[in-house]
Chains A and B, each alone.
Chain A
Amino acid sequence: MNTCRAVTRDMETLLGLRPADLPEAVRNHLAACPACDRRLAAARLARGLIAAGAETIAPPQGFADRVRTALATRTVGSRADAETWRPAWGLMPAFAAAVAALFIVYQTGEIPGPTGFLSSEGLSVGEYLVLGSPGPEMDDIVSAVLEGGGK
Chain B
Amino acid sequence: MAFADLVRRYERLVFRIAGGFLRDRGEVEDVAQEAFLKAYEALSGFRAGAPFGPWIAQIATRTCYDRLRARQRRGEVAWDDVSLTAQSAAPSFAAGRPADDTTAARDLAERALATLPPKDRQALMLADAMGHTAAEVGQMMGCTALAVRLRLHRARRAMRKAAERLLDGMGKTE
Nearest CB on A from B100, distance (A): 12
User: Does A59 sit at the interface, judged by CB under 8 A?
Assistant: yes
Interface residues in chain B, defined as those with a beta carbon under 8 Å from any beta carbon in chain A = 3-5, 7-8, 11-12, 14-16, 18-20, 23, 25, 28-29, 32-33, 36-37, 40, 89-90, 92-99, 102, 105-106, 108-110, 112-113, 124-125, 128-130, 156, 159-160, 162-164, 166-167
Q: Convert A21-48 into 0s and 1s, putting 1 for each residue whose CB lies closer than 8 angstroms to a CB of B.
A: 0000000000000000010011111111
CA distance A45 to B37 in the complex (A): 38
What secondary structure prevails in chain B residues at the interface with A? helix
CB atoms of A58 and B112 under 8 A apart: no
Q: Would you call B33 and A41 a contact (CB within 8 A)?
A: no
Q: Does A87 contact B (CB under 8 A)?
A: no
Is A50's CB under 8 angstroms from B109's CB? yes
Q: Which of A18, A45, A58, A68 contacts B166 (CB 8 A)?
A: A45
Q: Which residues of B have CB within 8 Å of A18?
A: 96
Query: Which residue of B97, B99, B160, B167 is within 8 Å of A52 (Cβ)?
Result: B99
Q: How far is the CB of A40 from chain B (nearest CB, A)?
A: 8
With contacts A38-B167, A46-B156, A58-B15 known, is A19 near B96, CB below 8 A?
yes
Q: Chain A residues near B102: list those with CB within 8 A.
A: 52
B163 near A45 with CB under 8 A, answer yes
Task: Check A50–B159 contact: CB distance below 8 A.
Answer: yes
Q: CB distance B20 to A53 under 8 Å?
A: yes
Is A71 at the interface (CB under 8 A from chain B)?
Answer: yes
Q: Point out the residues of chain A lying under 8 angstroms from B25, CB to CB.
A: 57
User: Which of B40, B89, B162 is the one whose CB lies under 8 Å from A46?
Assistant: B162
CB distance from B30 to the nearest CB of A (A): 10
Tell me the bound Cα distance from A56 to B18 in angstroms: 9
Q: Are B37 and A19 in contact (CB under 8 A)?
A: no
Within the complex, the shortest CB–CB distance from B27 to chain A, in Å, comes to 10
A9 in the interface (beta carbon within 8 A): no
Q: Does B129 lie within 8 Å of A50, measured CB to CB? A: yes
Check B109–A52 contact: CB distance below 8 A: yes
| Contact with B11, one of A48, A59, A71, A74 (Cβ below 8 angstroms) | A59
